[in-house]
């Protein structure tokens, strides 16, 4: 990291901290309104309780999506305090997807803790995810802010896109590597990751009194930044430092994942791409993981992903400028976008 990166990261970290202070009380009150056994699963998932119901010091998410809602509202001259419910709604919707995705993908760890379904069973994890989705949309329906109906419409539409993204992701992972195109993977990442970041920014715009045009531009900003985030995340899944990621080196390769750099390599038409395809047909031993990482690199998958990420960030800034003519007002949004695309390198 350069010195300026560190300053920006420090800014974003402070912003996320302030967001959690502003949104967590609303989130906790909302979760506490849930019926007993569902509340318990939810409080565990959010990191606020241990599995036995005793208080935990909080391993909850970084609150990137709520921070985007509040920063987008401020960027358009709104009062971000009016958008706290909307920010909480987006975070609830995000956590609904995490609970269900962990069941579907059979992931056993989330935020360094056992996933809810491994602790409480699959039925309780499904039911709690359902309840969080209903809670998210209830928060908006109860909100008397003039933007709440348009926000609910956008969030519900976004959830359907998230569902489509998760469905497409499952389908892609089941297909043979040579049957997967890069465009499909990009579309899937947009639906699965970009859509909710875009929706968060759009809700901020609506809560600042913005019209459909501002909301659409903010949505596009969040989507492009989200895709940059996913590309960086995929690079980390191959070359990330285990000490920083908490995952073994090349975790995505070991799991035969068709991440974006992998698919870029597989579809490159290069000899290295063919080597990678051959490796992916066999078991991914630590030696195979090392060879596969080299093959992705030689096939151009690494460079492609880095260039794509930079390109997406440039597009994000371009979209942002459409919504916020004076980019100085959008400093927090830019800091957040920079933060999510650099976080663990």
Residues in contact with a second copy by CB under 8 A are: 34-35, 37-38, 96, 100, 103-104, 122-124, 126-131, 133-135, 137-138, 140-142, 148-149, 152-153, 156-157, 159-161, 163-164, 166-168, 170-171
Asked if 196 contacts 90 with a C-beta cutoff of 8 angstroms, the reply is yes
Closest CA to 339 of 316, 308, 318: 316
Q: Closest distance between a second copy and the C-beta of residue 132, in Å?
A: 9
By beta-carbon proximity to a second copy, the closer residue of 166 and 308 is: 166
Q: CA-CA distance, 83 to 64, in Å (whole number)?
A: 15
By beta-carbon proximity to a second copy, the closer residue of 22 and 180 is: 180
Q: Closest distance between a second copy and the C-beta of residue 47, in Å?
A: 21
Q: Closest distance between a second copy and the C-beta of residue 83, in Å?
A: 17
Beta bridge partners of 109: 114
By beta-carbon proximity to a second copy, the closer residue of 125 and 289 is: 125
Q: Closest distance between a second copy and the C-beta of residue 107, in Å?
A: 13
Q: Closest distance between a second copy and the C-beta of residue 140, in Å?
A: 8
Phi, then psi, of 180 in degrees rounded to 5: -110, 125
Q: Closest distance between a second copy and the C-beta of residue 223, in Å?
A: 16
Q: CA-CA distance, 322 to 289, in Å (whole number)?
A: 43
By beta-carbon proximity to a second copy, the closer residue of 137 and 291 is: 137
By beta-carbon proximity to a second copy, the closer residue of 20 and 40 is: 40
Q: CA-CA distance, 199 to 281, in Å (whole number)?
A: 38
Give the three-class secondary structure for 114.
strand
Report H helices in the chain: 3-32, 36-45, 64-75, 84-105, 116-120, 122-142, 148-174, 182-189, 195-207, 212-239, 242-245, 251-254, 260-266, 271-281, 286-298, 301-323, 331-340
Q: Give me the count of residues in the chain.
A: 345
DSSP string spanning 124-152? HHHHHHHHHHHHHHHHHHH--STTHHHHH
Q: CA-CA distance, 316 to 45, in Å (whole number)?
A: 31
Q: Closest distance between a second copy and the C-beta of residue 216, in Å?
A: 17
By beta-carbon proximity to a second copy, the closer residue of 136 and 235 is: 136
Q: Which helix (H) or strand (E) holds 113?
A: strand 113-114
By beta-carbon proximity to a second copy, the closer residue of 28 and 322 is: 28
By beta-carbon proximity to a second copy, the closer residue of 72 and 132 is: 132
Q: Closest distance between a second copy and the C-beta of residue 155, in Å?
A: 8
Q: CA-CA distance, 297 to 303, in Å (whole number)?
A: 7
């Amino acid at each position: 990291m350069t010195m300026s990166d560190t300053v920006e990261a420090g800014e974003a970290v402070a912003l996320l901290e302030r967001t959690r202070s502003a949104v967590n009380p609303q989130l906790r009150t909302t979760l506490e309104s849930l019926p007993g056994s569902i509340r318990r699963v939810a409080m565990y998932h959010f990191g606020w309780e241990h599995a036995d119901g005793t208080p935990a010091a909080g391993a909850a998410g970084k609150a990137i999506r709520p921070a985007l809602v509040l920063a987008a509202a401020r960027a358009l001259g709104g009062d971000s305090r009016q958008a706290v419910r909307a920010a909480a709604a987006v975070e609830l919707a995000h956590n609904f997807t995490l609970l269900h995705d962990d069941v579907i993908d059979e992931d056993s760890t989330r935020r360094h803790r056992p996933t809810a379904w491994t602790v409480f069973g699959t039925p309780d994890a499904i039911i709690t995810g359902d309840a969080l989705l209903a809670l998210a949309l209830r928060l908006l329906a109860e909100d008397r802010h003039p933007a709440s109906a348009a926000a609910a419409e956008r969030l519900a539409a976004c959830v359907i896109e998230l569902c489509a993204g998760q469905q497409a992701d499952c389908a892609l992972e089941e297909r043979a590597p040579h049957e997967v195109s890069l465009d499909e993977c990009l579309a899937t990442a947009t639906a699965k990751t970009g859509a909710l970041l875009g929706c968060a920014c759009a809700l901020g715009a609506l809560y600042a009194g913005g019209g459909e045009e501002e909301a659409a531009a903010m949505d596009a900003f969040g989507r492009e930044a989200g895709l940059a985030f996913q590309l960086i995340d995929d690079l980390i899944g191959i070359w990330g430092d285990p000490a920083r990621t908490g995952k073994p080196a090349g975790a995505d390769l070991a799991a035969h994942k068709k991440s974006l750099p992998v698919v870029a390599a597989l579809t490159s038409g290069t000899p290295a791409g063919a080597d990678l395809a051959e490796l992916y047909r066999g078991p991914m031993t630590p030696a195979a993981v090392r060879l596969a990482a080299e093959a992705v690199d030689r096939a151009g998958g690494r460079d492609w992903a880095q260039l794509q990420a930079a390109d997406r960030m440039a597009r994000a800034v371009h979209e942002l400028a459409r919504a916020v003519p004076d980019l100085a007002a959008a400093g927090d949004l830019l800091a957040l976008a920079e933060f999510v695309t650099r976080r663990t390198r």
